[in-house]
């Protein structure tokens, strides 16, 4: 039986843990040769090993997506090895919580560099490699379309990501490249739980609080977000373009 991404070349940025890692593993299981990027060498090596040890095809490259020269090097290597890119999941990003009165210029710059600048140039610099009809997936967030205390800079950065998709589908119309945004809700990942610090009780308290806001009464799992990303990457979503797919247990619907 043919797999959904057989013979495809895919790139997942920010793939050392959480949603990025789960998606890279899923893409590989569906037949893609997956390139994974991350900033931490040991975690990147472990992520690649987790794919290869089950027979998947994976290549890890240490890349900081906010650095344009590193993006250039990344695409040069993909181009020399494969000559094209069929799926791009611009997932790298993150943020921290600060109330309005505590926001600093450094906090703003770091958040927008990671979530906006990096996404913009990750996609722009991929254009020469992207095959006609390729799929580009951007990682948004439910925070981009709802209010969250002490999270306004992150929320604004994810709203910008959503705006990118709306315009880029027009810029890329002639090449039939689809651009969609996947917006996870609260998902059980290291990045989410780290917002509560290192204290186990506080981390559990955050998880319980967030789960109580979700109609399904639980956090999402990274593998569930990966399943949605696979849909957008595959021909199953061939007529889905410019959309925002909420994978949030229904939170944005209430």
Per-residue confidence (pLDDT) for residue 111, from 0 to 100: 98
Contacts of 54 (CB under 8 A, 6+ apart): 29
- pLDDT of 4 higher than 90: yes
Catalytic residues: 154
- pLDDT of 49 higher than 90: yes
H or E element in which residue 29 lies: helix 18-29
Q: Would you call 94 helix, strand, or coil by DSSP?
A: coil
Share of residues in the chain with pLDDT > 70 (%): 100
Q: Write out pLDDT tens, residues 68-97.
A: 999 999 999 999 999 999 999 999 999 999
Per-residue confidence (pLDDT) for residue 1, from 0 to 100: 79
* 130-139 sheet: strands from edge to edge: 57-62, 33-38, 9-12, 85-90, 130-139, 178-184, 244-247
Distance from first CA to last CA of the chain, Å, rounded? 40
- pLDDT of 127 higher than 90: yes
H or E element in which residue 203 lies: helix 200-212
Per-residue confidence (pLDDT) for residue 50, from 0 to 100: 98
Per-residue confidence (pLDDT) for residue 141, from 0 to 100: 96
Tokens 């703003």 sit on residue: 108
Q: What is the DSSP letter of 169?
A: H
- pLDDT of 135 higher than 90: yes
- pLDDT of 142 higher than 90: yes
Q: How far apart are CA 221 and CA 35, in angstroms?
A: 22
- pLDDT of 17 higher than 90: yes
Residue 244 · residue 231 · CB < 8 Å: no
What confidence category does residue 47 fall into, taking pLDDT thresholds of 50, 70 and 90?
A: very high
Per-residue confidence (pLDDT) for residue 2, from 0 to 100: 85
Residue 175 · residue 132 · CB < 8 Å: yes
Per-residue confidence (pLDDT) for residue 192, from 0 to 100: 83
Q: How far apart are CA 70 and CA 156, in angstroms?
A: 26
Q: Which domains does the chain have, with CATH numbers?
A: 9-247 (3.40.50.720)
Q: How far apart are CA 93 and CA 14, in angstroms?
A: 7
Contacts of 104 (CB under 8 A, 6+ apart): 98
Mean pLDDT, the chain, integer = 96
Q: Write out pLDDT tens, residues 159-217.
A: 999 999 999 999 999 999 999 999 999 999 888 888 788 898 999 998 999 999 999 99
Per-residue confidence (pLDDT) for residue 197, from 0 to 100: 86
Per-residue confidence (pLDDT) for residue 190, from 0 to 100: 84
Q: How far apart are CA 89 and CA 233, in angstroms?
A: 8
Per-residue confidence (pLDDT) for residue 196, from 0 to 100: 80
Residue 249 · residue 215 · CB < 8 Å: yes
Per-residue confidence (pLDDT) for residue 171, from 0 to 100: 98
- Can you point out the beta strands (E) in the chain? 9-12, 33-38, 57-62, 85-90, 130-139, 178-184, 187-188, 220-221, 244-247
């Amino acid at each position: 039986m043919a797999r959904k991404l057989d013979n495809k070349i895919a790139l997942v940025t920010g793939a050392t843990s959480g949603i990025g890692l789960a998606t890279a593993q899923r893409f590989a299981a569906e037949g893609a040769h997956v390139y994974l990027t991350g900033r931490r060498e040991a975690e990147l090596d472990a992520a690649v090993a987790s794919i290869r040890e089950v027979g998947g095809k994976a290549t890890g490259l240490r890349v900081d997506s906010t650095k344009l020269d590193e993006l250039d090097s990344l695409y040069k290597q993909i181009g020399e090895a494969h000559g094209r890119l069929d799926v791009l999941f611009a997932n790298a990003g993150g943020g921290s919580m600060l109330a309005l009165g505590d926001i600093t210029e450094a906090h703003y710059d770091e958040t927008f560099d990671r979530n906006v600048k990096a996404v913009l140039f990750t996609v722009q610099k991929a254009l020469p490699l992207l095959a006609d009809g390729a799929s580009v997936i951007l990682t948004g967030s439910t925070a981009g379309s709802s209010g969250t205390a002490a999270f306004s800079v992150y929320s604004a950065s994810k709203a910008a990501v959503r705006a990118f998709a709306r315009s880029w589908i027009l810029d890329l119309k002639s090449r039939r490249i689809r651009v969609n945004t996947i917006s996870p809700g609260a998902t059980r990942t290291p990045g989410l739980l780290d917002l509560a610090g290192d204290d186990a009780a506080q981390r559990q308290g955050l998880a319980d609080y967030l789960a109580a806001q979700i109609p399904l009464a639980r956090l999402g799992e990274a593998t569930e977000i990966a399943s949605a990303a696979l849909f957008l990457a595959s021909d199953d979503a061939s007529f889905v373009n410019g959309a925002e797919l909420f994978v949030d247990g229904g939170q944005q619907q209430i």
